[in-house]
């Protein structure tokens, strides 16, 4: 029996047993239902308005859940789950939430039928391991020396559900070019694609098709003064994290001056200190100076005279990327161990060219031909802020997917193919077990079918019929050895039929599917283990005393 009464020693509500489970499942279902309709190539968008009236229009699962203020503790687990998927893989955030809530719902039904949560948990864990193994061994296809076509297809699959889905051919090629441009080999000899160094700049005007890829890192600021050169070749770049302004006395420092002439000397010294610092920078060979803070007019004069470009108020994040790409060191103080101020030329970064260019109505600083990793920027054009923001989110997902595909080299068919194959496989596996886990594994198998079902429903097609056809194909594959060609059968959502998605180019990195299964299972297990919730009430008497 559930206890919802206050116990004498606990100030608050205490619920236990089935009550809590049902409550948790309902909360998670509510969260999943919000994102459910945004899954798939014909998924719909959500408009989110925050407390100050800012509008976000998106169908990216992680963004939707991040902007919702979720109160319920179990539902918060799903929000964190979507964030984790976004961090680890970059795409598949909606799928992972839907699968997790379906697993929970079915587990709750089993508990109601008298099966202990521990048995369900061990069944789910076994099913998860088997499913991941099956994806890697049987369903994943190695894409030897990944051709550009398969990378473009991965990017197109990721974009299909987004705003730019209609122009996915154009954007997919742009994304693949951008990811391949930042290829680097790390110390251990592994090839990596650090997509964080791909800068995305959003500029109003023109249509989405006018977006383009720029070879170089674009900073969304102009030169600090008009007298500076528009372009510097063979740029030696200093990255600073402090003000180049007239030095002021620290707060709390008292100077007693007896002679008024001394005061003028103090003022002069304050001015000279900045001049000396700039002199040290220029002497070390710097002809481009970037700082995250300000540069005052007096300091700008020296840079103009030296023919150097100075840029102020650069974003910290941009600064880190520039420093990494050019081989510069971000300097936060000139002070050395002896207390003197020095600046070594070894702290400078190198680029072939730094120039100011005009994009749309904004001046941007372009850093081209960087020393260590090649930097590229995506310049997005679009009608308004909402559209540009959603384009940026869509490109982030596509960039992540291409990176994962290149690094893992394994792809699987999309459109519900993997989920249907796993469902059939796990059902067969469940019948071979003679323990209680059998029921949990069978429910796990059923839960995976939620993905093809939701895809079909969102596309306004007959979900029951399509999923039945899919399962029939996958059952044939797994029982007849000569029917291997059907193992990539998935849904064609524009026509409402079943087709070979591997041939049709609807592919995803295998890693994405494996992570979805792992994360969803872990989240479901976390919530399923909860059998008691104690909600403490604020003790008003303590507040009164304070």
Instruction: Look up tokens 């099966």; give the residue.
Output: 115
DSSP 196: G
Task: Check if 397 is active-site.
Answer: yes
Instruction: Look up tokens 């510097």; give the residue.
Output: 232
> What are the residues whose beta carbons fall under 8 Å from the beta carbon of 141, sequence distance 6 or more?
410, 411, 412, 488, 502
C-alpha distances in Å from residue 51, one per residue of 35, 46, 80, 87, 251: 20, 16, 21, 26, 38
Task: Check if 464 is active-site.
Answer: no
Task: Check if 60 is active-site.
Answer: yes
- Give the active site residue among 60, 91, 389, 492: 60
- Give the active site residue among 58, 63, 93, 370: 93
The answer to whether 273 touches 299, Cβ cutoff 8 Å, is no
C-alpha distances in Å from residue 137, one per residue of 296, 408, 460, 510, 522: 63, 14, 34, 11, 22
Among candidates 153, 134, 254, which has minimal Cα distance to 517?
Answer: 134
- What span, in angstroms and rounded, lies between the C-alpha atoms of 40 and 452? 9
- What span, in angstroms and rounded, lies between the C-alpha atoms of 119 and 450? 23
3-class SS of residue 492: strand
- Give the active site residue among 56, 58, 63, 94: 94
Task: Check if 9 is active-site.
Answer: no
Among candidates 327, 259, 245, which has minimal Cα distance to 291?
Answer: 245
Instruction: Look up tokens 């710097």; give the residue.
Output: 286
Which phi and psi (to 5°) does residue 58 adopt?
Answer: -155, 160
Rg (CA), the chain: 29
Which phi and psi (to 5°) does residue 413 adopt?
Answer: -75, 145
- Give the active site residue among 397, 405, 492, 521: 397
Among candidates 87, 30, 83, which has minimal Cα distance to 61?
Answer: 83
Which phi and psi (to 5°) does residue 277 adopt?
Answer: -60, -45
- The residues that are catalytic are 60, 93-94, 397
């Amino acid at each position: 029996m559930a206890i919802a009464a206050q116990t004498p020693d606990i100030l608050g509500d205490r619920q236990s047993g089935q009550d809590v489970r049902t409550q948790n499942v309902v909360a998670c279902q509510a969260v999943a239902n919000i994102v459910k309709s945004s899954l798939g190539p014909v998924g719909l968008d959500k408009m989110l308005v925050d407390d100050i009236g800012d509008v976000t229009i998106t169908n990216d699962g992680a963004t939707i859940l991040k902007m919702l203020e979720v109160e319920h503790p179990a539902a918060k687990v799903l929000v964190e789950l979507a964030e984790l998927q976004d961090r680890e893989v970059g795409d598949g955030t909606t799928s992972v939430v839907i699968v997790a809530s379906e697993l929970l719902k079915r587990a709750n039904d089993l508990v109601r039928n008298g099966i202990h949560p521990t048995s369900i948990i061990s069944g789910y864990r076994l099913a998860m391991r088997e499913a991941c193994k099956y994806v890697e061994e049987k369903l994943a296809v190695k894409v030897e020396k990944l051709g550009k076509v398969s990378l473009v297809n991965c990017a197109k699959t990721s974009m299909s559900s987004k705003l730019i889905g209609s122009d996915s051919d154009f954007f997919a090629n742009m994304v693949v070019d951008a990811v391949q441009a930042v290829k680097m080999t790390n110390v251990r000899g592994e090839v990596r694609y650090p997509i964080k160094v791909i800068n995305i700049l959003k500029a109003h005007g023109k249509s989405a098709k006018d977006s383009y890829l720029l070879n170089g890192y674009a900073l969304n600021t102009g030169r600090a003064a008009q007298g500076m050169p528009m372009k510097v070749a063979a740029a030696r770049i200093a990255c600073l994290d402090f003000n180049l302004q007239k030095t002021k006395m620290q707060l709390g420092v008292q100077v007693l001056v007896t002679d008024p002439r001394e005061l003028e000397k103090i003022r002069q010294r304050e001015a000279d200190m900045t001049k000396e610092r700039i002199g040290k920078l220029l002497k070390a060979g710097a002809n481009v100076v970037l700082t995250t803070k300000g540069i005052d007019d007096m300091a700008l004069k020296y840079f103009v005279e030296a023919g150097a470009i100075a840029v102020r108020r650069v974003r910290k994040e941009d600064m880190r990327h520039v420093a990494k790409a050019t081989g510069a060191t971000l300097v936060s103080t000139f002070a050395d161990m002896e207390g003197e101020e020095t600046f070594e030329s070894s702290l400078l970064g190198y680029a072939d060219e730094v120039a100011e260019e005009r994009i749309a109505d904004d001046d941007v600083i372009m850093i081209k031909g960087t020393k260590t990793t090649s930097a590229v920027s995506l310049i997005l054009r679009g009608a308004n802020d909402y559209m540009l923001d959603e384009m940026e989110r869509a490109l982030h997902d596509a960039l992540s997917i291409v990176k994962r595909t290149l690094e893992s080299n394994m792809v699987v068919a999309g459109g519900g193919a993997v989920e249907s194959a796993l469902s059939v496989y796990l059902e067969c596996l469940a019948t071979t077990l003679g323990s209680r886990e059998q029921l949990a594994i069978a429910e796990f198998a059923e839960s995976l079918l939620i993905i093809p079902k939701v895809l079909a429903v969102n596309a306004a097609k007959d979900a029951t019929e399509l999923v039945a056809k899919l399962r029939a194909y996958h059952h044939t594959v797994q029982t007849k050895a000569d029917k291997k060609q059907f193992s990539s059968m998935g849904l064609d959502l524009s026509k409402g039929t079943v087709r070979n998605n591997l041939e049709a180019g609807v592919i995803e990195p295998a890693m994405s599917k494996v992570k979805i299964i792992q994360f969803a299972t872990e989240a479901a297990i976390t919530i399923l283990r909860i059998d008691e919730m104690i909600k403490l009430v604020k003790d008003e008497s303590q507040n009164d005393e304070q």
